[in-house]
Amino acid sequence: MGYDEAVRRGFDQCRSRGYRCDLQEAHLTGNDVWKVKFRVDGRGQKGHLHLDYDAYSRNLIKVNDKVKDKGGRGWDDDDWDGPGRGKKKGHAHRDD
């Protein structure tokens, strides 16, 4: 498998997960493994997707999915209660 095929397979895998994919890098290691890395965005999530392919068998060896929610709700959501009060800071927590 060459560079173009590794990248194409990576894009196929990334899109099949429902992400918008932006290729960061793809390289062949000394162990004949293609490492293909994407920055991903989709379904309210953002992060990175790392894929390892065997250069000879073309099998997907490893998937490292580092994708998290973008976080938070918008201010216009009906169920938004605002931030919590949290812990008091400084001298205010003492009853002097």
Per-residue pLDDT tens, the chain, 96 aa: give them.
999 999 999 999 989 888 899 999 999 999 999 999 999 987 778 889 999 999 999 999 999 988 887 664 433 444 445 555 555 555 555 555
pLDDT at 42: 79
pLDDT at 74: 38
Instruction: Give a yes or no: residue 75 inside a domain.
Output: no
Q: In total, how many domains does the chain have?
A: 1
Instruction: Give a yes or no: residue 53 inside a domain.
Output: yes
Q: What values do phi and psi take at 14, rounded to 5?
A: -65, -45
Instruction: Give a yes or no: residue 10 inside a domain.
Output: yes
Q: Does this model's pTM top 0.75?
A: no
Cα distances from 83 to residues 6, 49, 72, in angstroms, run 45, 31, 10
Range of the domain at 59: 3-67
Instruction: Give a yes or no: residue 7 inside a domain.
Output: yes
Instruction: Give a yes or no: residue 96 inside a domain.
Output: no
Contact 56, 37 (CB under 8 A): no
Q: What is the CATH number of the domain that holds 60?
A: 3.10.450
